[in-house]
Amino acid sequence: MVGGFDQTNLLISIALVMILMIVSRIRKILNEAGTWAAAILGLGVAIGGHWTWLFILLAFLSAGFFVTRWRYDEKRAMGFNEGEDGERDWTNVVANGGVPLLISLYAFVTKDWENLLPIFAASVAVATSDTFASEIGCLDKRVYMITTMKKCEPGLNGGFSPNGQMAALAGALLISLVATGLGWLIGAEALSKPIEFIVSITIIGFLGCQIDSVLGAVLENRGYIGKGTVNTIAIASGTVIACYFYPIIAF
């Protein structure tokens, strides 16, 4: 795996960013500011890391948009909707993509794209897991506060539900599978043990989602930090777990 200013990496990266900008505006995935932020951040991820890393991030963006629009009229009626049509802005892009960008820049400096692939995938898995949990779990009325395990209102920060937890696991698994497929495509050394990779990234993504819920319950509900900060800290926490404990399982 060779990233950075490699000619092939640059060409594919620029093409992916252009596709991102066009599809984002046509499908209203992001508003205008969000689209530009995603383009800049995505280019940084692709050039700092590798074009496959940008593809992993785009998988999160696409899947996140899908679950955001799922039963959207119901979410709008309950006040859980994002934007007017499910579009997100630049703050959401930075909150979810800031840590992956920093990992990519570190990879660019160290030229260690191979060993940092699992770390990058884990960070995106956390973001995807949390988005799936929020967008699917908010419609489940069986909601419990993660710090007390007592029943609470749907949509409350720190609340979790059975459907939300299953969705969180599915979101993390999705990213692990996408990263595995791309890693196989380019012959990444990190994919020499694919089952180990898939299970570890899925678990880390799911754990990061739980950290997000705890932060929401303990800090966001008290007004100490906002949603974007919670997302960033949770993703960073998943990254730290990946740095020190990947692989979580080893064969």
What tens digit of pLDDT does each residue of 91-142 get? Answer: 989 999 999 999 999 999 999 888 999 999 999 999 999 999 999 988 888 9
Burial degree of 230 (CB within 10 A; 0-12, 13-18, 19+) = buried
Mean per-residue pLDDT of the chain: 90
Is the confidence at residue 78, as pLDDT, over 80? no
Q: What is the pLDDT of residue 5?
A: 73
Residue 208 within any structural domain of the chain? yes
Residue 64 within any structural domain of the chain? yes
Residue 136 within any structural domain of the chain? yes
Q: pLDDT confidence of 166, banded at 50, 70, 90?
A: very high
d(CA 185, CA 249): 23
Is the confidence at residue 84, as pLDDT, over 80? no
Q: What is the pLDDT of residue 104?
A: 95
Residue 211: domain span: 7-245
Q: pLDDT confidence of 177, banded at 50, 70, 90?
A: very high
Residue 2 within any structural domain of the chain? no
Q: What is the arithmetic mean of pLDDT over 3-23? A: 85
Residue 1 within any structural domain of the chain? no
Q: What is the pLDDT of residue 1?
A: 65
The pTM score is 0.93
Cα 77 off chain centre by: 26
d(CA 249, CA 60): 24
Q: pLDDT confidence of 25, banded at 50, 70, 90?
A: confident
Each residue's pLDDT tens digit, 200-236: 999 999 999 999 999 999 999 999 999 999 999 999 9
Indicate the number of domains in the chain: 1
> Could you tell me if 182 and 155 are in contact, meaning their C-beta atoms sit under 8 angstroms apart?
no
Residue 166 within any structural domain of the chain? yes
Q: What is the pLDDT of residue 93?
A: 92
Q: What is the arithmetic mean of pLDDT over 34-42? A: 92
Higher-pLDDT residue of 167, 192: 167
